[in-house]
Structure 1
Amino acid sequence: MSSIPTFNARNKVRDPLHGYIELTDDEMLIINHKVFQRLRNIKQLGTTYLVYPGATHGRFTHSLGVLYLSTKIFDIIMGKNSSIITWDYNEIKKQRQMLRIASLLHDIGHSPFSHVGDNLFSPVIKNHEEMSANLIINTDLSEIIDMIGRKNGGFTYREIAGLIKGRIPSNYLLIKRVFSGDIIDADRMDYLLRDSLMLGVKYGKYDLDHLINSLNIIIDNNIPILSIEEKGIYALEEFILARHFMFTQVYLHKTRRIYDKILERSMQCMLPSNHLPIREEEFLQWDDNRVLEYIKNNPNSYNDMFLNRGHLKLVFERFPYIKEEEKLIISEIEELINNRRYLDTEVIVDRYTQNAIKFEDEMGNPSIGILDKNKNIHHVDKYSSILSKINDSLDVFRIYANEEKRDEIIKVIEEAYSKCLRP
């Protein structure tokens, strides 16, 4: 295998998490493009800043961080696998550059306030990945990417869009898994540490250097599978636990969730046909600033709650797990509330499940394996009793109500318990 290419990275951006991030002149054309600059005005964590005041960082810096970590992971894996990866110098150069561009652009299709708007995409464009691909294909970003591709082995903007949407040929699977995989990738590596730093919490911290230096791959039927060398098992445990704690303590925080719900309803009132525009130029006009300006200038119940911190208060909660014996009761509570047809300004039910971490695929093969000293791959649970027990989903069931409906909701809950527990 040829040596890892070096780039003429004459530009440096100083990042609070990673220090200096080096960028080429061509990459700066992407960063300075209006599609990418919009990310300065898209908060990484939606309404979390109303709970943790430091959570004002945007998708812009996160995307730079993913580029930085993706490149670092790629270079380490290439350096360890010269005997099994048969790419020549040009192919390495090509895939490394593709990885950097895809890492930069993977979040450009986020709605205002990021995941707050996940349910506001049209049926035509189902999610932010689809919108990211559309922005690449249908703006002049495509011309910039093609120009960079011609200099770096011959890739196109459509291949970058395919990487982000997940529609890729097998020869690009490695770089896809580096920036956006199933369990461990540069995206998660960056946001856990970045969010912890900006919020001033320690839940998301782990040993980044040791984790990255323990990453490796194994080739199975010509498919590269990301793996962790045996020496990195404790760093992997730290990483998975950090993700678990950030979800339970930050991302699914009770106050953040109700503000997300209120803001989602505010945005529905502003948007044509209750969903985000399909046309790229129109979509680019929507960012956090535009939403906040609308909320300030258009009084209604949702906007007033958001601006004046007058959110509905928590009345009932089951989190982070719902016991098996309570699932029937929860369903009964939901049905009783739905039948009463409360207004959203009176009662909001938050029901959400964060899927379990799957260390195996449907065939029983490891999604991420532990690589021993003899290059044999093992299932995670053979090496870590901690990780074998942390693969439960996280359940959110919360009921929020205003002061006038609080006592009524409590009676509904009591009625459901009485009905379901009746002998």
Structure 2
Amino acid sequence: MDASPEWKVFYDPVHGHIEMHPLLVTIIDTPQFQRLRNIKQLGGGYYVFPGASHNRFEHSIGVAHLAGKLVQGLRTRQSLDITDTDELCVKIAGLCHDLGHGPFSHVFEVFMKELNPSSEWKHEEASVRMFEYLAEVNGISHVMRKDYGFQDQDFQFINELIYGPNPPGSKNLGDSHSWPYEGRPREKSYLYQIVANHTTGIDVDKMDYFSRDCHHLGIKCNFSHERYLVFARVCNDKIHGAQICMRDKEAMNMYELFHIRSLLHHTIYHHRVTKAVENMIVDALIAAENHFRLGDKNLTISAAVNDPSTYMNLTDVILQQILHSSGTELSTARRITERIFNRNFYKFIGGKTFEPDDVKLLDNAEKWKAKLRVWIEHVQKEASGQQPPFTADEFKVMPIKINYGMKNKNPIESLGFYKKDDPHEPIQLSKDEVSYLLPGKFAEIKVMLFYKGQDKDVVELAKRHSRKLWEELQQAPEDQ
């Protein structure tokens, strides 16, 4: 490793010239971070939108940049007890928060869940492990301690910024009382609202990927993260403690953040063809799970997440590896992958949007699968034996929860505001201070139905009777 790294300038299409601290440059130049060049930001979206070619690599650099800008702005505008080490920790967390993403980003989390429904694995967990591995094998942890004065508490702080309270490997460094973090005291609670904000969902991670996704997709983003960085301020609330608040006149800008989130989820992230492709990627990985081995330890795909040295080898490239495999044991996975590259995707049968309370059974996979079987029986009965036989396994129901980031709550209600003439006192804004044209509801469920087979007659038959499935899903479980 270079003993005397220097500040470097990266040119980013979203943020322009980004100046990076030498320690961050050292992290970027490791194989563990470079791995992110081969993980698409939008998963299967690149198979639909030609501009969606960006990767987790550039997003992570952008988050580190915005995190640094926000901390520096707070330090400049206010007399806060933010140290150079605090600032560096926040930047590192922004840079490393996505180290744990698997192939095709969030698609891999779906794979892990479908493979094992009881799995609680999230990429943030793997990010913490990968950061610790990166720092150790490249000698960076030694440099952080020796040259920058990092202590155990600082490493804990970085992990908490990425994961939240009680990250993997927590050492219980002290009496946490009712404060769930060990890395920094309650007095610095606002630092935990920068990279991954568990209070309001307003953080620089979202600000970067919304701006970046819109840029690459050619969509206008009306939210201004530049204005957020300028008007963000720390206020002390008796209940919530020190928190990042926003100028009252910026309320509509903050609503735009969640409006663009909703728009992207509806039109891009959950586009019908995007979801068809991602379903196929998940099915290919499941089919390959017991036959595809990784690294010197010969681990399966799912086992690799617990071993950073093996997980290093797991990127989007896995589809090409499956495609070019020759063993019969991978024939099913290879056939699905060939369909993807031939653009012979699963067929979209139909979709419908519900209010969450209308389809509560979607939270229970067994219950909605039972409803799917009832619907299949109905369709086959209507076909009167004239269609080829088909089963529920050939169909895929996808319940997709879309909200403003806090389930059915308005996240802006959790955000403190301040007025120009009293910048130290956090307040809540009423509708007559913002607008009566604001959303009245903040969550919905979009249900999509796909057919995995290739029989055109089955597709047409299923489409004709899709309304019956929506009726089934709206029936209460006790009606079964």
The reply to whether residue 280 of structure 1 matches residue 308 of structure 2 is yes
State, as a whole percentage, how many aligned pairs show the same letter: 22
Which residue number corresponds to residue 5 of structure 1? Answer: none
Structure 2: how far apart are the matches of 1:246 and 1:366?
22
**SS in structure 2 opposite 1:180?**
coil
Structure 2: how far apart are the matches of 1:81 and 1:239?
25
Paired residue type of 2:249? K
Per the TM alignment, residue 81 of structure 1 is displaced from its structure 2 partner at its CA by 2.1
Where in structure 2 are the equivalents of 1:8-407 lying within 5 Å? 10-82=7-79, 85=80, 87=81, 91-121=82-112, 126-141=121-136, 143-156=139-152, 157-167=155-165, 168-169=181-182, 170-171=184-185, 173-181=189-197, 182-202=200-220, 204-221=221-238, 223-272=241-290, 275-277=302-304, 278-297=306-325, 299-300=331-332, 301-319=335-353, 321-322=354-355, 335-338=370-373, 340=376, 346-358=394-406, 366-373=413-420, 374-375=422-423, 376-382=425-431, 383-385=433-435, 388-389=438-439, 391-401=441-451, 402=453, 403-407=456-460
Residues matched between the structures, number: 405
| Native 8 Å contact 1:312 1:346 kept in 2 | no
Structure 2: how far apart are the matches of 1:242 and 1:312?
28
Q: Which runs of 5+ in 1 are unaligned?
A: 1-7
Structure 1: how far apart are the matches of 2:440 and 2:468?
34
Paired residue type of 2:45? T
1:360/1:407 Cα in 2 relative to 1: closer, same or farther (>3 Å)?
closer
Q: Which runs of 5+ in 2 are unaligned?
A: 166-180, 291-299, 378-389, 476-480
Deviates more, 1:205-214 or 1:291-300: 291-300
1:365/1:146 Cα in 2 relative to 1: closer, same or farther (>3 Å)?
farther
Structure 1: how far apart are the matches of 2:48 and 2:33?
27
Structure 1: how far apart are the matches of 2:284 and 2:362?
31
| Native 8 Å contact 1:296 1:303 kept in 2 | no
Pick aligned residue for 1:409 from 455, 458, 462? 462
TM-score (norm 2): 0.75
Structure 1: how far apart are the matches of 2:202 and 2:313?
33
User: RMSD value over aligned CA atoms?
Assistant: 3.4
Structure 1: how far apart are the matches of 2:247 and 2:149?
31
1:324/1:345 Cα in 2 relative to 1: closer, same or farther (>3 Å)?
closer
| Native 8 Å contact 1:14 1:21 kept in 2 | yes
TM-score (norm 1): 0.84
1:326/1:191 Cα in 2 relative to 1: closer, same or farther (>3 Å)?
closer
